[in-house]
Amino acid sequence: MKKLRFEYRMTITFDQPVTDHRFTVKCVPETTERQRICDLEIRVLPDHSLSGGRDSFGNRYIYGNSPDPGDRFEIYMRGQADTGLSCMETAEAEHRLGRYRYATSYTRPGESILAYHKELRELLADKTDNYDKCVTIMHELYRMMTYQPGVTTLKTTAEEAFGQRKGVCQDYAHIMITLCHMENIPARYVVGMLIGEGASHAWVEIYDKGGWYGFDPTNDTIVEADHIKISNGRDYRDCLINQGVFVGNAKQTQKIQVLVEEIQQ
Amino acid sequence: MYDMDLFEHTDTVNELLARYGVKFGIYKNNEFKEQLFPFDAIPRIIEKDEFSKLEKGLKQRVMALNLFLKDIYGEKKIIRDKVVPEEFIYASSGYLTQCEGVMPVKGIYSHISGIDLVQGKNKEWYILEDNLRVPSGASYPMIARELCRRSSPRTFQDYKLEDNRNYAELLRRTLDHVNVEGHTVILTPGRYNAAYFEHSYLAERTGAHLANGHELIVEDDKLYFIGVEGKKERVGAVYRRISDEYLDPMTFCEESVIGIPHIFDVYRKGNVALLNAVGNGIADDKGIYYFVPKMIKYYLGEDPILQNAPTYLPFYKEDMDYVLEHFDDLVLKDVAEAGGYGVVFGSSMTAAQKEDFIALLKKEPRRFIAQEVIDFMDLDIMEKGEIVPRKADLRAFVLMADEPLVWKSGLTRFSRNPDSFIVNSSQGGGFKDTWVLSQ
């Protein structure tokens, strides 16, 4: 167990004013079996009209619009989290988890993953639990891949990233989900924050015997008390922190700053 | 036995239809072309008793399909009980994960269903497919009847038949039943849509506003219509004639410019009714079609009143064996295609084509269904002053208001090509009025 303080800031600047900006922001960490969130404060600007909702994956979101011309969009969030309260989250009935076993456009295997899966199979042959299989999958993936920013984009699929054996957390997560599907293990994409300073992070939760367990393939580690979860879905797109449409031919620049530090007691 | 008075007016009626803009728009080679939807004056006539059996069967089928949709986006008991294998749900493009847990107003998913049937030479009716997304076509027999009554009033005194001009009332009743409070809108993608005539005609007949995506906006968790003077008025029900993927760029296709950002969020909260519900594509998927008789049994505990065309799922081994053995007698359909595309007859393939197709079938068995070729009962049509037989189907309309309502008419489409079994209007066919006798 740890007590963490977190701060998240996203700023989008437009090089010329846009109007009718409509946005959906999925950045509301919630209390679960694994983490307790307190003193949460969220600010979204412009705040002309804001409403809240919960999506089909159970993630809370804020949506709204700003009709007036503006050149800046900002999300600021801070709070505290008690983490590592449990190693798992209780899942819904197994027959309802089907959507976490089938590919999306991000997690559809191609030649390179299919070929690799054949090798991996031998290493998994003596393991029966999903959890144990996933420990092996994670270690192997970590060994195979090189962490390298800039070689993949937000649109890169698992197959494309694995083909070049390089990528960032989003790619690691998509590849691990793809491999889990091939082993018939329900797996989902998680967006959150990791202790330290930087950007938001992505990892994976896998299903085993009634629960969801967190695996962070980018860091080759089981999720315990260093991670704060924000949202989950089938892939990157289901967990987009910010989405928007607007009128105007502006260029946008996005900046994200995340700070998570332990509170010493 | 034919009523020549009515037929003499065929050309007049077709001219009037053209003048009213009863056209079918299609895209071919990236070009938009409007073509007339030729009307044939010889009606399809269905006896009272026969229609009442159809009516019972159609209600039963649509009720089961509604229960299926509620189950799939909720409890998923039909998967748990292994009546429908889960791959037929999750690998289908009709299943929309964003609809999980979203309950439409009053639990109604398919408000307007277009069920396509054919009648075999044995007089037996078979269901060909269910259309639960945006089925079109009701306006054509409506306006044709109207014009025929004008040009040949005597015919309609001699025959005792059900008046089909009440479709607008049935539709209005269906819309009002789920309207949460506010205006009723028919949402059209615009005049370049194949069914634009229908959108405007139904708006006029039901007294609903005809609007495009730019005239509707979401604010403070509600949907508003922007009136002529810029005044915002609350909308309670939207009969949307645009498909799911273009409905809301914030939830579905990001590039959509005809949709309404955040309409799905308002819908999710129950603050507006959308007709039909979002995600219905899973129920009219060609692979799911096979399971509809099983659904009727599963959800209603009844035997199906109307039969499917005999269908095989190569997904099951024994069906695959049957399909390979009787390949030449079957018609094969790609479950991902619609509008008469992706349909091939085993007997019309060359040896090489057959070999390729079978290889594909073995590789992706879930992608195809195979059906017995039904020996359709032909209907007479007038072709250059002569009466000739042609293949035809019937699209029946079932509306779900406080109770299921079956429109006592329907769209009869026929193929102009004497050798074709495909009667879809996007492949150039004509239509007839459908008369249901009232005594």
- Which CATH number covers residue A227? 3.10.620.30
pLDDT of B1 over the 60 cut: no
- For residue A137, is it within any domain? yes
Q: Are strands B330-334 and B112-119 parallel, antiparallel or unpaired?
A: unpaired
Unique residue bearing structure tokens 């359909």: B333
Q: Give the pLDDT band (50/70/90) at residue B6.
A: confident
A106 and A156, same domain (yes or no): yes
A24 contact B CB<8A: yes
Q: Give the pLDDT confidence score for residue B257 in this predicted structure.
A: 84
- For residue A236, is it within any domain? no
A215 and A97, same domain (yes or no): yes
The DSSP-derived string for B153-196 is TTHHHHS-B--GGGHHHHHHHHHHHH--SSEEEEE---TTSTTH
A7 and A71, same domain (yes or no): yes
Residue range of the domain that includes A110: 88-192+200-231
Name the residue among A24, A49, A53 with its Cβ closest to that of B220.
A49
- Which CATH number covers residue A25? 2.60.40.2250
- For residue A145, is it within any domain? yes
C-alpha distance from B214 to closest chain A C-alpha (Å): 12
Enter the ipTM. Answer: 0.95
**How many angstroms separate the CA atoms of B207 and B190, rounded?**
18
Name the residue among A49, A53, A56 with its Cβ closest to that of B97.
A56
Fold of B310-372: Dna Ligase; domain 1 (3.30.1490)
The model's pLDDT over A165-179, given as tens digits with 9 standing for 90+, comes to 999 999 999 999 999
Q: Give the pLDDT confidence score for residue B159 in this predicted structure.
A: 87
Q: Which of A25, A47, A51 to mutate to test the interface with B (most CBs of B within 10 A)?
A: A51
The model's pLDDT over A203-241, given as tens digits with 9 standing for 90+, comes to 999 999 999 999 999 999 999 999 999 999 999 999 999
The model's pLDDT over A142-165, given as tens digits with 9 standing for 90+, comes to 999 999 999 999 999 999 999 999
A99 and A211, same domain (yes or no): yes
**Contact indicator for B327, B355 with CB cutoff of 8 Å:** no
The model's pLDDT over B149-184, given as tens digits with 9 standing for 90+, comes to 998 888 888 889 999 989 999 999 999 999 999 999
A121 and A204, same domain (yes or no): yes
| Whole-number Cα distances in Å, B357 to B127, B335, B343 | 26, 15, 12
A76 and A10, same domain (yes or no): yes
The model's pLDDT over B319-374, given as tens digits with 9 standing for 90+, comes to 999 999 999 999 999 987 766 677 889 999 999 999 999 999 999 999 999 999 88
Determine, for residues B265 and A63 on separate chains, whether the beta-carbon distance falls below 8 Å. Answer: yes
- For residue A185, is it within any domain? yes
A125 and A100, same domain (yes or no): yes
Query: Regarding predicted confidence, which is higher, B244 or B2?
Result: B244
A107 and A127, same domain (yes or no): yes
A107 and A169, same domain (yes or no): yes
Interface of B with A (CB under 8 A): 75-76, 79-80, 86-87, 89-91, 97-102, 218-221, 249-250, 254, 261-262, 265, 268-269
A113 and A212, same domain (yes or no): yes
pLDDT of B28 over the 70 cut: no
Give the residue range(s) of CATH 3.30.1490.270 domains in chain B: 310-372
Determine the average pLDDT of the residues in A1-17: 96
- For residue A7, is it within any domain? yes
A42 and A169, same domain (yes or no): no
**How many angstroms separate the CA atoms of B180 and B366, rounded?**
40
Determine the average pLDDT of the residues in B286-308: 97
Q: Give the pLDDT confidence score for residue B425 in this predicted structure.
A: 55
C-alpha distance from B77 to closest chain A C-alpha (Å): 8
A128 and A163, same domain (yes or no): yes
- For residue A154, is it within any domain? yes
C-alpha distance from B106 to closest chain A C-alpha (Å): 19
**Domains: count for chain A:** 2
